[in-house]
Structure 1
Amino acid sequence: MNEGAGIESTQKKSLSWKGLELFPIGKVLRQYNLRKAKQDARAAMNVALLDIPQSMAYALIAGLPVQTGIFCASLSTITGPVLASSRFIMLGPSNATAVMLLSVFLSLGYSPGQALIALPLLLLLVAIFMTVGAFCKVAGITQYISKAVICGYITAAAFLIIINQLKTVCGLHVPRAATFVESLGNFSAGLGKTDTDALIVSGITLVSYLLLKRFAKGLPTIALSLVVTAVVVYVLRPYGLEPEMLSGINASSWPLTLPTFQWKEFTEIAGGALAVAFLAMLESSSIAKSLAAQAGDRIDLNQQMLSMGAATFASSLGGGMAVSGSLTRSMLNFRSKPATRMSSVFSGTILIVALFLFGDKIAYLPRAALATLVILVGISLINPEQIRLMLKTTRNDATVFLVTFVGGLILPLDTAIYLGAAISIGLFVRQAARPELREISFDEQGNLLERAPEVQKHRRPEIAIVHVEGDLFFASSDVFLDQMRHLAEHPDLRIIILRMRNARHLDATAASTMMELTRFARSKGSDLIVSGVHPELETVMRQSGLLDLIGEKNFFRYSPENPTISTRDALKRAREITGVDSADITIYTADKGKDHA
């Protein structure tokens, strides 16, 4: 029995607050056994072999010492599962957060030394944003951010990764820049000083990687490529090959970093910290939902966000970097079939042991070799199929993708992702806020027929049934009121029945709009009836005073046993008000066929 099946059924209650569990791993430990431990250990070993070179690569992407990536990976994989919801997500550095860190520090004009000093405070702010966001249940905002934003951001980030590592591949020491366009200019200007030794090392690494990928499938290709390159460089060193090397790591001097607080620095990096937290939330929620769906597990995104907050806090104190869910390591963990989230704890433990045993051996790795592998990772992030999907599916998706992507090339990435998210939410609100109604009548054979606009001008229905569907909130209120006022102006209209069975998200603005509509209709000699009202909508109507204005006699609740009975009773009430047994009835429904983008 795995965690998804067995742990959920435990009858023991966990410590919780505000709907979030404060020690969910306790449920795992209460049912843990040797069989599960062996299964978790196998998965952990697979992930750790990938984690070591990846973590160093992500630190290099962020412009930080390679040890910050390993410190982050080991600390976050141990602390994250204590509060996590998913048994598959492997926390640690990722491409997305690494390149965001680079962009934030470059946009602030920080040197590598300044960035390293400011990093603990930035991570502390990220941890606070994530923790507060988890308790405020903000993870739900991810449903309003389209995949086009993520696709555009990742594509732009890939270009920035590639151009920033190309200078290392060529052995150049050119000024750093916050954007792809500036970085490309600096790289082009320095090409005349290309170092031949760096290019040779890059060539050796590329050939090693391609051969291993072709003939050694299933093995840790990235790690083996670095080992092969290190051996070849060591052999060729007496013949004059002298590339720039990485610095070894002395694990015994692992730093405890306490954030230093200065108000000026705080105001400078707060915006960047919010961008990192926002991006990590988007990235991790996307991975968590995908893996949970495949495994049949349940996932609480706010719980997962809380675990990232805790892991980021540990990383801020332990000399690490920004924490997110890693797609490649999480997918490897998923395929390795861990029994519980303890596989993550084991993986972090393996990383720490490896760091103490082999940390000093990192000094044998050429910097250009790691940069070459980072470029290969960057190229793999560019997904032509996804880009084609975003550009061809809808105009909204294409707009959001292009705005985010182009913005990511010419602006700092934190600005680009805010811009993309704002466009995504704006287009969603625009579409949700423009309901369209069409008039449906019957032909002589009794078939439903959409009436032409010119016929509608002369049509004077006595009873209008309006199907209100979707989101009825502040953004849609003005348009809804205009359309309904236009309908209420028909001189022969006596009754408007709002069928609200499929209406959602009624708020104070929309309730106020419906009150205005009720008063306007009555001023024109008509009346308003509502039917199919769910309990949550009734609560808003009652608290706002709308129910009192409409009146209980004109209010009909939704019945799960008979979904149409409320409309039938509303028609009976309409006939009672009009005093006639027969009336012309026109049905208005949402026009789903139009593209309001």
Structure 2
Amino acid sequence: MLQGLTGLLQDLIRLLKKAVALPRPALFPIGRVAKEMDGPTVKADLIAGLSVALLAFPMSMAFAMKAGLPVWCGLVGCGVAAFVAPIFSGSANLSAGPTNASAALLLGAFATLGAISPEQRAAALPTLVLMAGIFLLLASWLRLGGFADFVPRTVISAYIAAAALRVIALQLPTALGMPGDHSGESLFEVTWAAIKMGRHLLINVDFYLAIVTGITYFLLRKPYGAGKAIVGAITVATIGAALGQSVIHNQGSNADLVHYVGDAARSAAVLHLPEFSSHTFSTLFSPALALAVLVIIEGTANARASALKTGRASDLHQEVFGLGMANLACAFSGGMAASGSISRSALNVASGARTAYASLFCGLIILSAGLLISSWVALVPLSCLAILVILAEIELANFAVIKLILKSGAQDRTVFLATFITAL
């Protein structure tokens, strides 16, 4: 027995020596990229950065609402992550920022912590994101970027489907303009409450703005893509809300018929920093680890997909290092957790991005726009963002994949249903 333990210890020491001998992520790979820059490259990266920023700006607000956070958490997280990640990844394959899946996981973590209001969630966010960033840095140093291949896709699909239902339940009252607090209710409870309201919903302006937003999105989605469809839907709903409010004011009424984002311009007044205490770290350990695992899975998968499209090699461990540094930066700026976005990464590639500077330019544009037009952002109707989040969740759930899993073997069905029920 002693010989067996000695042999096991020797094997562990050999594995540790091999791990230590492996190459580590470069600290500032963006320096190498700078040598590739010339006039045409800068122009191509600027165009790509602007294109991605147009998509990321409204989506980041929607993801913040999805996680039950103030919208500025999404804007700051998107801008900071897009700026910081490429400095430490040196790659044009991945566009960092808030994503559907990471927002859903944040919502679940907040529910576990008992953080109900957006202010409570914003206060808990920095420490959670900081710990996830530390886990990501450790994973990149230990070269664990490829471990995500061992997580069953059935588990991921079930978790995403359950998260989608939770998010729809959270956003449906806002989209319908339902009064009162429904944050702790299930989708069934919210639907039943809406049915009981009946005709009262039909005199709610928020309800009609959500319908207009949804119709506009569907009309623009196929011919112009998700990014332009989101921008167009938000623009139409915001203009419609402003015109309706103007008509009411001209008739001598001061009533506010529409609920607006409103808090985007107050980001500086509600900035929270990470809390360094053993109790907080022990409480957030599991949610932060789960968030880091999700970021690795999502980030490396999207980096691989972009690499296949462009033919540019992607160092997955360096990508994880960049995401880790981006999350550290988000933690100290009040931003949401950063992951690798499939839609923004695909748009970055399709827009002709040549280097990591495309994402860096995107981050600068988002942060500048957030500062310069924050008063305009505050005029976006809440129901508009809520319905866009719901539509995004329906797409994310991927019912075709779920149907395929349920028709497959008993083992896959059991794993899917067990994960789905547990995650609800």
Range of TM-score over shorter length: 0.7 to 0.9
1:23 equivalenced with 2:53 (yes/no)? no
Quote the Cα distance in structure 2 between the aligned partners of 1:140 and 1:229: 43
Q: 2:205 maps to which residue?
A: 197
Q: 1:207 maps to which residue?
A: 215
1:224 equivalenced with 2:232 (yes/no)? yes
Q: Is the 2:79–2:366 Cα contact (8 Å) retained in structure 1? A: yes
Q: 2:385 maps to which residue?
A: 370
Q: Is the 1:85–1:300 Cα contact (8 Å) retained in structure 2? A: no
Moved more, 278-287 or 400-409: 400-409
Quote the Cα distance in structure 2 between the aligned partners of 1:218 and 1:253: 31
Q: 2:141 maps to which residue?
A: 135
Which of 141, 150, 153 in structure 2 is aligned with 1:144? 150
3-state DSSP of counterpart to 2:264: coil
1:36 equivalenced with 2:47 (yes/no)? no
Q: 2:66 maps to which residue?
A: 61
Aligned residues with identical type, % of pairs: 33
Counterparts of residues 289-328 of structure 1 (less than 5 Å): 289-328=304-343
Q: 1:452 maps to which residue?
A: none
Quote the Cα distance in structure 2 between the aligned partners of 1:73 and 1:219: 15
Q: Is the 1:255–1:318 Cα contact (8 Å) retained in structure 2? A: no
Quote the Cα distance in structure 2 between the aligned partners of 1:336 and 1:397: 38
Task: Tell me the CA shift for residue 185 of structure 1.
Answer: 4.5
Amino acid of the residue matched to residue 183 of structure 1?
A: S
Task: Tell me the CA shift for residue 298 of structure 1.
Answer: 2.2
Which of 177, 183, 190 in structure 2 is aligned with 1:176? 183
Task: Tell me the CA shift for residue 353 of structure 1.
Answer: 1.7
Task: Tell me the CA shift for residue 94 of structure 1.
Answer: 0.5
Amino acid of the residue matched to residue 148 of structure 1?
A: T
Which of 165, 168, 174 in structure 2 is aligned with 1:162? 168
Moved more, 110-119 or 329-338: 110-119
Amino acid of the residue matched to residue 283 of structure 1?
A: E
Larger radius of gyration: 1
Moved more, 136-145 or 249-258: 249-258
Quote the Cα distance in structure 2 between the aligned partners of 1:352 and 1:174: 32
Q: 2:362 maps to which residue?
A: 347
Quote the Cα distance in structure 1 between the aligned partners of 2:23 and 2:279: 34
Q: 2:7 maps to which residue?
A: none
Counterparts of residues 523-538 of structure 1 (less than 5 Å): none
Q: Is the 1:284–1:326 Cα contact (8 Å) retained in structure 2? A: yes
Task: Tell me the CA shift for residue 265 of structure 1.
Answer: 2.5
Q: 1:566 maps to which residue?
A: none
Task: Give ranges in structure 2 of 5+ residues lacking alignment.
Answer: 1-20, 249-254
Task: Tell me the CA shift for residue 393 of structure 1.
Answer: 4.8
Amino acid of the residue matched to residue 404 of structure 2?
A: L
Quote the Cα distance in structure 1 between the aligned partners of 2:83 and 2:149: 29
The TM-score with structure 1 as length reference comes to 0.62
Q: 1:121 maps to which residue?
A: 127
Quote the Cα distance in structure 2 between the aligned partners of 1:144 and 1:216: 36
Q: Deviations over 1:374-427 (max 9, x none)?
A: 111111112233223333455544343333223222xxxxxxxxxxxxxxxxxx
3-state DSSP of counterpart to 2:378: helix
Q: 1:242 maps to which residue?
A: 257
Q: 1:96 to 1:306 in 2, by over 3 A?
A: same
Task: Tell me the CA shift for residue 255 of structure 1.
Answer: 6.8
- Taking CA–CA contacts closer than 8 Å with sequence separation of 6 or more, which of the two structures ends up with the larger relative contact order? 2
3-state DSSP of counterpart to 1:47: helix
The TM-score with structure 2 as length reference comes to 0.86
Task: Give ranges in structure 1 of 5+ residues lacking alignment.
Answer: 1-15, 410-597
Q: 1:385 to 1:252 in 2, by over 3 A?
A: closer
Amino acid of the residue matched to residue 279 of structure 2?
A: K
Quote the Cα distance in structure 2 between the aligned partners of 1:66 and 1:342: 26
Task: Tell me the CA shift for residue 188 of structure 1.
Answer: 4.0
Quote the Cα distance in structure 2 between the aligned partners of 1:334 and 1:169: 33
Quote the Cα distance in structure 2 between the aligned partners of 1:253 and 1:108: 25
3-state DSSP of counterpart to 2:146: helix
Q: 1:252 to 1:223 in 2, by over 3 A?
A: same
Q: 1:76 maps to which residue?
A: 81
Amino acid of the residue matched to residue 61 of structure 2?
A: M
Amino acid of the residue matched to residue 158 of structure 1?
A: A
1:387 equivalenced with 2:387 (yes/no)? no
Task: Tell me the CA shift for residue 261 of structure 1.
Answer: 2.2
Q: Deviations over 1:419-452 (max 9, x none)?
A: xxxxxxxxxxxxxxxxxxxxxxxxxxxxxxxxxx
Q: Is the 1:197–1:241 Cα contact (8 Å) retained in structure 2? A: no
3-state DSSP of counterpart to 2:181: coil
Counterparts of residues 41-56 of structure 1 (less than 5 Å): 41-56=46-61
| Aligned residue pairs, count | 390
Quote the Cα distance in structure 1 between the aligned partners of 2:270 and 2:34: 30
Q: Deviations over 1:112-161 (max 9, x none)?
A: 22221121111111111111121122223212112222222222222222
Q: 2:190 maps to which residue?
A: 187
Quote the Cα distance in structure 2 between the aligned partners of 1:54 and 1:200: 21
Q: 1:402 to 1:72 in 2, by over 3 A?
A: same
Moved more, 57-66 or 230-239: 230-239
Q: 1:306 to 1:41 in 2, by over 3 A?
A: same
Larger proportion of strand: 1
Question: After TM superposition, which residue ranges in structure 1, 4 or more long, deviate above 6 angstroms?
Answer: none
Q: Is the 2:168–2:187 Cα contact (8 Å) retained in structure 1? A: no
Amino acid of the residue matched to residue 92 of structure 2?
A: R
Task: Tell me the CA shift for residue 339 of structure 1.
Answer: 0.7
Q: 2:417 maps to which residue?
A: 402
Q: Deviations over 1:20-78 (max 9, x none)?
A: 21111111112211111111111111100001100000000010000100100110111
